[in-house]
Structure 1
Amino acid sequence: MSRIGKRPVPVPKGVDAKIDGQTVTAKGPKGEMAFVVNELCLVEMGENGVTVTPKDKSKPARSMWGMSRTQISNLFEGVSNGFTKKLELVGVGYRAQMKGKTLVLALGYSHDVEFDPPEGIDIKVGKPTEIEITGRDKQVVGEVAAKIRGFRPPEPYKGKGVRYEGEYIFRKEGKKK
C-alpha cells in the first residue's frame, strides 16, 4: 500500500481544481496547468481534496498510484506558489548576468556561455555568483537548473563550478610530492 497515495491532496486557497475524466486541471495565481492521470488509477474530488486510488491490485497500478498523487500535489503547488531552485557559481572569475531574457555565464572557458530559458521559466541573478530559477512546473525548473549546472559541474579537487545551493561536494586529495 502506498503511504503517499492514501492521503488526499488538499486544494489550496485561491486554486480552482477541476476533474474531467482522467485530466486534473488547476487554475491559480501563477497560471493554469493540467495533468492526465494514468488509466490504471481512479481520480475523484472529495470534501478533503483530490483522492487517487488504483483500479486494481496489480503492480503497475500500484506503481502509478503514489506518482499520480504527487504529480497532482505538485500541480497545485505550482499554480499557487511556484517552484524555485538556486545555483551558486564557485571559482575565480565565474560570473552570471542577464542580457534581456538571456543568461550569460562566464565559466572559465574562452567564450561566454549563453542560455535562453524555456517558456514559463524566470531566471534572476541577484549577485554575480548566484542564480535563481523560478517557474510553476517543478520538472522544468529542475531540468533548467540541471542544464545550467551541466555547463561546468563542480570538480572534486578545488570545488570550482556551478552547484546547487547547499550542495556538498566530496573533495579529493591532490597528488603528493
Structure 2
Amino acid sequence: MSKIGRKPIGVPQGVTLSIKDGLLIVKGKKGELSLRIPQEISVEVLNGSVVVKRNGDSKKERAIHGLFRQLINNAIIGVTEGFEKKLDIIGTGYKAEVKGDELILYVGFSKPYSMKIPQGLKVSVEQLKTVEKNFRITVQGIDKQLVGQFAADIRRVRPPNVYVGKGIRYVDEVVIKKAGKKAATTTK
C-alpha cells in the first residue's frame, strides 16, 4: 500500500465533503472544488476524516492511490487557505498590468503580450521599490494545479536569461548566471 495513500486526511472545521455521481465535492469558506473519483479508487468520509482505498493491486491502482489522496488534501487546503505563487519581472522597461480579465506583459517584444486570466484566479501586480524598479505578479486561487499552471505560463513568456539575468522568474528561484564570451576568453 502507498505510504501517502494509506494516511487518512483530517477534515478541518467549516469544510464539507460529499460524493455524488462519481464526484467528490469539497466546500469551504473560499469556494468549492470537485474531483472526479477514478474507478480504481474508493473514497470514504468517516468521523471527520477521509480515507482513500484502492479496489485492487494492479500497477495503475497503486500509482493512482497516493496521487488521488494528495489531490483531495490539496483541495481541502485550497478551500480553506488557498494557494499563491509570486513572480518577479526583472529588466529595464519590463512591466506588467492587469486590465479587466487580462494580464498584459511588456517584456521586450514589439507588442505587449496579453494573457487571459482563467476563471477562479485572482492576479495582482505591484511595483517594487528597488533600484531596478521591478514588478511582482501574484497569482492566487483555490485550485493548486490552476495556480501553478498559470504561473508557469507567465514565466514561459520570457524566462530568465542565463547571461544577463533579466526576464520573469519565481520569487524564490535562483538563476545561475553563465560567464559570457568576454569573460571566457580573458581567463586563458
Using the size of structure 2 for normalisation, the TM-score is 0.88
Cα offset for 1:48?
4.8
How far 1:80 sits from its partner (Å)?
1.3
* Amino acid across the alignment from 2:148: G
CA distance in 2, matches of 1:18, 1:106: 44
Please tell me the residue identity of whatever aligns with 1:165: V
- Give yes or no for contact 1:22–1:36 (8 Å, CA) kept in 2: yes
Query: Which residue of structure 1 aligns with residue 163 of structure 2?
Result: 157
Deviating 4+ runs (over 4 angstroms): none
Q: In the TM superposition, what whole-angstrom CA distance separates every residue of 1:54-73 from its partner, at most 9, and x where no partner exists?
A: 11221111101001101101
Task: Note the C-alpha offset of 1:99.
Answer: 2.1
User: Map of 1:127-146 to 2, 5 A cutoff?
Assistant: 127=127, 129-146=135-152
TM-score normalised over the length of structure 1: 0.94
CA distance in 1, matches of 2:81, 2:48: 20
Q: Say if 1:43 and 1:51, in contact at 8 Å, map to a contact too.
A: yes
- The residue number in structure 2 matching 1:89 is 89
Unaligned 5+ runs, structure 1: none
Larger radius of gyration between Structure 1 and Structure 2: 2
Partner SS for 1:5: coil
Q: Percent identity?
A: 40
CA distance in 2, matches of 1:62, 1:22: 19
Displacement of 1:47: 2.0
Question: Superposition pairs for residues 1-177 of structure 1, below 5 Å?
Answer: 1-20=1-20, 22-127=22-127, 129-176=135-182, 177=185
CA RMSD of aligned residues (A): 1.4
Task: Give the match for residue 130 of structure 2.
Answer: none
- CA–CA distance in structure 2, aligned partners of residues 66 and 147 of structure 1: 27
When the two structures are aligned, how many residues end up with a matched partner?
A: 177
